[in-house]
Structure 1
Amino acid sequence: MPKKDPLAELSQEMLAATLSGQAMGLNLLLAEMRALSEVLPGALAQSAAVSERVGPAEEADFDNMPV
């Protein structure tokens, strides 16, 4: 049986913990977004209407903030 590298094992555990933490944060964000969409039902319809009216040429004019 090959000997396991403790550093590799620790790296795997750290990666799993990091990905698990990110997944929990994203799940919380998704729950908040769903709750807000229930409270503000017109928000989704309004955002769809705005995206249809604004074309790529018009949107290019809005991106004029200095960095």
Structure 2
Amino acid sequence: TEGTDAQATVSVRMEEAGRIVTGQSADTDTVVASAKAYVHALNNLLVRREKSGGDTPEVNYKDLT
């Protein structure tokens, strides 16, 4: 409702070829928070691709918890 300070917190986990990434976001709108978390996870996935050179999937076990 209008005037509240409620926040939706969203966590997204993605996996591609053994690469597991997460994205997190918070917003007053659940859909906006979800979209931001998804984009954050995609950005993390792109960084992982570049770091690994695309050959061997890099798995950070910290992301599995």
TM-score grouping bracket, smaller chain normalisation: 0.3 to 0.5
Quick check: which one's strand share is greater?
2
TM-score, length-scaled by structure 2 = 0.41
Larger Rg computed on CA atoms: 1
